[in-house]
Structure 1
């Protein structure tokens, strides 16, 4: 019975463990974000309504979005090409960088 409980607890912990455990490096993310700036702005505040603001979003959300673009669960040809060569570490770093930025919106 004790073994069964430990097994269930272990499975649940692995399943619901927050993605923030894969904490990204903000400094590394800043270096990697140069390509992103063309559409999303240097600090994640887009100057065009065609592209979403990334600054101030939750890192877990941004990381999941990047994973979903790479896996094809989110459909966008521009983003699919951008994430094609990114590793999970790259995505975690980018998510950490943009999450650390101000979420204040800019006038468009």
Structure 2
């Protein structure tokens, strides 16, 4: 214990305790106003999101055509193209239309009636 340095006696700065209550009151007023600002900012964000969300819910949407709905099912991998052809009354007509769209009306592949065409 003798080897430890001796601590100097602590003295508060002059006038510290006289001005302390005023500094504490000022600090608490600042904290209250900053808490109010935080709550006000959070409330404004929530109100804005609520208005935006309810505005989108009430927006009218155009109904999809049967073709658009089928394309959505195909693109979402719920239906395969075979499923769509199976639902069709005339799948050969759909396949002919796809081939015509792919190659164009002038470049259609030749129709081969002979089973051994090679």
Which of 1 and 2 has greater Rg? 2
Name the TM tier (shorter chain): under 0.3
**Larger relative contact order (Cα-Cα within 8 Å, sequence gap ≥ 6):** 1
